[in-house]
């Protein structure tokens, strides 16, 4: 009976992994297509001519982690520093606690006050982070993940969907600067890279 349970769990994990990998590869394809699309791209016309496409680390299950969300109550609204003049209003929503390679990490997650008022974004959370690839293999100011408020206090973070802000590729955007508290002392070898 115990062996059957182990086999069932292994099979379930394999099916989830393959399904998740397919979803991530589709997401990466769509992200790349948006950069090539003249109507959606952040790139200027001359930049688009030389653009060869976004690069990604190979999909890696290790960077799909379950995090515990510690919600923060009554947080003040603050101006998020950016690379430009625009400083949008944000608030700290919570702290995510998770483990990679048996090491414990935490990241703060934020809500953009204007964005959550828009249709379809009420549950949107913004997760900027810097790791030990930043400035070498990835953008020095960090990468981002877009996630949603879970029904409970557990949330899956898929770093295979990490992306660079537009500022990594072109000028003229005000991109949020990753807060110092969101530095991960490890390499996140997943998601977009240079």
What does the pLDDT look like over 26-42, one tens digit per residue? 999 999 999 999 999 99
CA distance 176 to 78: 12
What pLDDT does residue 18 have? 74
DSSP-derived 3-state class of residue 32: helix
Q: Contacts from 11-20 at CB under 8 Å and sequence distance 24+?
A: 17/61, 20/61, 20/64, 20/158
pLDDT digits (tens, 9 = 90+) for 61-108: 999 999 999 999 999 999 999 999 999 999 999 999 999 999 999 999
Q: What is the 3-state secondary structure (H, E, C) of 85-139?
A: CCCCEEEEEEEEEEEECCEEEEEEEEEECCHHHCCCCCCEEEEEEECCCECCCEC
CA distance 185 to 193: 18
CA distance 98 to 156: 10
Average pLDDT over residues 113-141: 97
Instruction: Work out the pLDDT band at 125, boundaries 50, 70, 90.
Output: very high
């Amino acid at each position: 009976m115990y062996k059957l349970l182990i086999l069932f769990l292994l099979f379930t994990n394999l099916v989830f992994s393959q399904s998740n990998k397919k979803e991530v590869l589709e997401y990466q394809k769509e992200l790349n297509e948006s950069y090539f699309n003249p109507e959606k791209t952040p790139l200027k016309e001359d930049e688009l001519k030389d653009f060869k496409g976004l690069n990604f680390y190979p999909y890696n299950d290790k960077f799909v982690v379950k995090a515990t969300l510690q919600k923060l109550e009554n947080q003040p609204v603050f101006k998020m520093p950016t690379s430009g003049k625009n400083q949008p209003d944000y608030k700290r929503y919570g702290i995510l606690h998770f483990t990679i390679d048996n090491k414990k990490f935490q990241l703060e997650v934020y809500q953009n006050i204007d964005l959550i008022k828009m249709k379809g974004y009420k549950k949107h959370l913004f997760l900027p982070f810097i790791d030990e690839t930043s400035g070498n293999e990835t953008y020095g100011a960090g990468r981002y993940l877009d996630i949603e408020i879970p029904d409970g206090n557990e949330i899956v973070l898929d770093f295979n969907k990490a992306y660079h802000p537009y500022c990594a590729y072109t000028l003229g955007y005000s991109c949020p600067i990753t807060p110092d508290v969101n530095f991960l002392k490890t390499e996140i070898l997943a998601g977009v890279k240079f």
